[in-house]
Each structure stands twice: as structure tokens, then as C-alpha cells.
Structure 1
């Protein structure tokens, strides 16, 4: 009998579904890197799923289910829409009634162009006198034509890079994250020019209609159990930590799926903002949060004694079952006050990011919703740049944090 996998069955099934949804366009290694496992591990999970379904006996490649095909086609349609945005015919035309030039350019640029167009017929001196402008200004403008052309070409190249970054992150990145991604590609090494280039990125995104995604209002879902004994508040709105596994936080949210709901529970490391564990189900019972916590413990190799886990006073977190599981792992429970979202602000902020970037439409099936959420969670951990981490992803931050700790110990 083989060794029991440290990854929950729910996680393995979602990883297999994510690989299959790629339809052969991504390798095992590429999908596994997002999920946080090795390519061979993912390959074995897919093989096991095939064997359980009875599809590996004749050597056939498993075909897509209708739900998987729908997910793939929706994703492909979204990519095509994003790729086409702003690059079609007349896409750069100004809006009706809008200014043709940037603010401040309408007067002088138009005059200089007029002088250039009619200088052979009337002469520069006469036109400048009629228009009330200095010839020296016109000649300076004329001398800068080559530099302006070079800037336009450079802006076009930068806009193309911005569009590529924006599309690769599903249209969710705004100015700051796009700018951080560009810096990650080697742009702007001079610290004095950082703010200037950020404003340039902001201007180009505004002019070209490229913007991040914003969140609509959401409903409050916490149902407190006022009879259960609460745990003390060990965090007190201090959502910072010096070390990994010093403080965790968690919460529950919901996703509309047709006429029903899918519930999601997460566990987040406050130091790195990494989602260590999650669970999805069509119910909101205590097992939902227990599964998320168990996955977080497995992610850290089981060595989590002493970590603080902070949540709201929802009935799932105040239950005796959750308290027993926390005590078994040596986890210290912490709770905020009833009805105060600020007491669990980090988890609330995380839900805002998830709903803004991944939950744009109502899903038609639970399978589709699970796949989209799982894909975003793995992307969030491995690739999404986080403002509070110096625009590193949570996994990158943890790697640098652990590397610095090892160097300190070696010294």
C-alpha cells in the first residue's frame, strides 16, 4: 500500500480538472508549476483519475465532458475578446465630442502644423506674425520632430507590452500592478524615474482604454452563533507578521451557480498573503472550514503548532468540532467582534480581489465554478503581484523570505 498523499482529494481532483481544461495546450510541468506540485505528481494524479474512471485500460485519451468543454470554450472566447480589444479598425479614433489632442496641445500643435503646411506659400515669418507666435518657437518645435517620433514609437511598443500583460492576467491588473510587472521585466532600473514611468503607464492605459477590474457591492454572509463561547482576539486588527506561520486568517464566501450557491473557505498566511488551504462545497457546514484548515496544515508539512488562526464569529469557526481540530494541530484560535468586517479585514480584502478578478459572471455548473476558482487561486499564489509584498507574488515572497532566513542562520 502506497504512502498517503498529503494533498486532499478535493485539491487533486481540481488539479486534474485544470489540466484537462487546457485541452493539451499546456504541459504537465506548466500546470503543475501553477498548482505548486511537480509535473510527475500531476501526471500520476491524472493517471489515477483515468484508472478510476476505467478509461486507461484501452489506452484512449479521456474525452472532454460537456462541462469541461464549456469551460474551455468560455476561456478561449474571453481570451479572444481581450486580444481584439483596442486593436481593430478605427480602435484608436477619439470619442465623439472628445478632444483630439492632449490637454494643452490643442492650440500650439495645431498652429505649428498649420505653419508647416503653408510655409511654402506664405513664408514662416508672415504666418507667425498673423498667428501671433514666435518663429523661434516654431523652429524649436520643428527641431524636435525626430524626438517626438521616437517617443511615439516607444509609446507604441510600451502599449503593446501593457496589452500583453493586461491580457495575460485576464484583464484584472490596473496601473500599479502593470507597472510592477514591467519593472519585473527589466524596465526602469533608475529609482528616480520610477514615479515618472508609473505616470507614463497610467497615461498610456487611460488613452488606450486599458483598465483594471473593480468590484461591485457584495452581501455579508457571516452567521454568528451567539451561544458559542468565543475565542479571544489575538490579532486586534494587526494584519502583519514577521515570520511565516506566525498568524493565519480565514473566512467563508459564496458564489452563485445557476439558481444555487457554492461556498468557499480559505486559510491565508498573514505574513506572505499565500492561500495555504481552501475548500469548496455546496453546503456551509463546519466540515467546509475544517477541510480548508487541514489542507493548510498539510501545505506546511504538519508543523504548525503555535500558529494563530484568526476568523470571525461565524458558527462554523465557533463550533466544538473546529475547536477540537485546532487543538489537535496546536493552533491558537482568535476571533474578531460580531458584525465588524474590519476585525478580519485581510480576509475581506482577499474576497474582494477574488470576486473582482475571477467571479465576473454567474456560473452555470458547479464543475465550471470550481475550475475557475481553483485556477485563480493557483494563479494568485504563484503569479499575482501583491501590493503589500512589494509587488511580489506570495510564492516569490516566501522564497525570498526563507532564503534570507537561511542566509542569516548561515552567517
Structure 2
């Protein structure tokens, strides 16, 4: 018959070792404790090496005595990281009601300990278990789906969309919901759109160059592409200095057809590269009306010559009247509200260029919905027209 292997607790092993030191006799101590002297000697060797970390228990890590504090700190750090990870993933659900919290815990029960999730999310484990045992009604499920959809669109649009735009976006995605319903659920979820801030105009028009009349006269509509283009320049603060963003917008579909980011305000670094991009990408129609402010970049002879040779008509805003170029001003408002002011720090030049490219090419020109296009994206508008 096979011999049954005895199991000893960590406390027993430690006390046996200490007793053997006290009596200074391994043989007698082993006989008294009914263990083999060889086993006790083994425990003593381990204790000499690991001291308080000698007998952590079955399946646990044995550590050197000198590393015990480090080991303890590592455990605390790992626990803190786990709690932070749970909080980062679940923070948006805390404002959506307990049903959303329960759903979050249930969906992540195989990833995180349920008890820790309940503690961090502010619910009791017993109530979570009770809720899981009693499924939601069809009405409650529908409400939860609508709240999740509203939250998703709200954060996707960078927290700057209210009930009207969120309702239109959800309807466009096949989810039937009214503006009143969106308003109701947004209040329940504690979602509030960010308030727009006024944009400070910085155009310097003090020069002796020729000023074109305001031909556009705030008629911001077009019936075909390349009929009316508007342009403007703004500054973007980065580490230790500024970059300057020049854009050209086609009034027809509000698309940014040309843009350039530069470190100086010369015409060669601003409007000329942006113009070349627009001309090559969208093409120039004879009689195209090009509107801008009175800045030297637009009034200088090199650029006005290009417009004339291209068969374009130049138009400029009246002095000190930013509303004459409202479309371009509106774009810069959106850019700074939705991108620049959300940055936690000043970006490097490389980071700024990457962010601007992503915002214009992949967000503004493709996914963003425009009120001037009846809340369609640019791509959807062009497909319908």
C-alpha cells in the first residue's frame, strides 16, 4: 500500500525551524515533532536563504528575505493597476444607471474578479447576483440598448453633439428614436454637450496691396463643385512656437479640398501649397469664385496672378468682418473645439501634423456630419447629388 504523504502548514514549518534553532539540535527536534531529520534540515536550509519568505504556501511564489518588501509592493502595484484598468473601462457606465453597471460586470466576469468590479463600480455583489438571476424585461432591454447607442454616438462625436444631431445620426444608422427620447436619456445618463467658445480673429490686413471687392457677399451656397472656394489661415500652438494651417473649402459640399501646415506665414508656405493641392485634387472650373480675407498671402501679386491665369474671380471680406468668411471661420471653430483644445499638452510638430491629417482627411471629409448638408456626411451628400 502506497505511503500517504503528510502535508505541513507554512506556520508549522517555520515553528519547527525556529524550535530547532532554539534547542540547537535537529535530531531531537525532529523526533519530538514526528518528522524526519532530513526534512527538517531541508526546511532550515530554505529558511537560511529566504527567511520570512521561505514558506508562502502551496502554489505561491517564494521570495528572498531582502526582496519581501519589493514583493509586497509588486502585489499592491498589480492590484492598483487592475483596479485602474477596471475603472477606465467602466467609468462611462457609472453615469448610465445600475443596469448598465450590471451588464458591464457580467460582460467582463471572465476578465476581472466580480467582487473587485462590484466594489469599484459601487454596487453590491449580492445585488449583482440577484439582477443576473432576474433578466431584464423587453422594455428595459430596449431602453438599455438606446442608452448604449446614444452614449456611443455622443463620445464618437467627441461630446460636442446635442440631441438633434445624435437623433439624426441614430436614425441614419437604422435606430428609430426621437429628439425628445434622446434628450430624456441624455439627462438620465448625465451627458452634456460641450459649449462652443468664440474664435479670436488674428488676420493682419494692414498692407498697400490691391484689395478685391466682396463679390461673394455671404452667399454661401453653390450648385456644383468648384463654383465657390473659400480660404483662411489660423495659428496652432505647439511646443515653443506656432504652426499655421491654411485651408481651402469648396462651398458646394463643404469639403476641405486643399490644406497645408507650415511654420511661416509667407504665401509660398501657406496659400500656394494649399492651392496646388485643391487644383490637382478637385480641379478648377472657369469662373470659380475664390473668397478669402484681406491677408497679404491672398493679396500678393504671385497668388493674384495665379487666380487670373486660372480664370478665377477673386473676392475678399470687408475689413474687420469675420462673418464675410463664416464658412472658413466655422471650420476653424470646429477644429479647435473638437481636436486642439482636447489635447492634454502642447504637441510636437510631428504630432500636430499627424493629428491635423487624421482630423481633415479621415474625420471631417469622410465621417463628420454637416448641418449645411442636412446632417449628411460629405460622401453621402455627393452620392445623393
Short-chain TM bin? 0.5 to 0.7
Corresponding residue for 2:92? Answer: 86
* Cα-to-partner distance string for 1:119-141 (whole Å, 9 max, x where unaligned): xxxxxxxxxxxxxxxxxxxxxxx
Q: Any residues of structure 2 matched to 1:3-402 within 5 Å, and which?
A: 84-88=90-94, 92=97, 150-188=138-176, 197-287=178-268, 288-300=270-282, 302-360=283-341, 361=343, 362-378=345-361, 379-401=363-385
Q: Which has the higher contact order (CA 8 A, sep 6+)?
A: 1
Structure with greater Cα Rg: 2
- Say if 1:263 and 1:280, in contact at 8 Å, map to a contact too: yes
Instruction: Give the Å deviation of 1:259.
Output: 2.4
Structure 1's unaligned 5+ residue stretches are 1-79, 94-147, 189-193, 402-411
- Say if 2:242 and 2:263, in contact at 8 Å, map to a contact too: yes
Distance 2:88 2:298 in 1: 41
- Say if 2:96 and 2:190, in contact at 8 Å, map to a contact too: no
- Say if 1:278 and 1:295, in contact at 8 Å, map to a contact too: yes
Distance 2:339 2:195 in 1: 11
TM value normalised by structure 2:
0.63
Distance 1:208 1:393, change over 3 A: same
TM value normalised by structure 1:
0.59
Please state whether the residue corresponding to 2:365 is helix, strand or coil.
helix
Structure 2's unaligned 5+ residue stretches are 1-85, 99-135
Distance 1:320 1:256, change over 3 A: same
Q: Which runs of 4+ in 1 moved over 6 A?
A: none
Distance 1:230 1:368, change over 3 A: same
Distance 1:270 1:243 in 2: 9
Distance 1:85 1:311, change over 3 A: farther
Q: How many residues align?
A: 259
Corresponding residue for 1:113? Answer: none
- Say if 2:201 and 2:322, in contact at 8 Å, map to a contact too: no
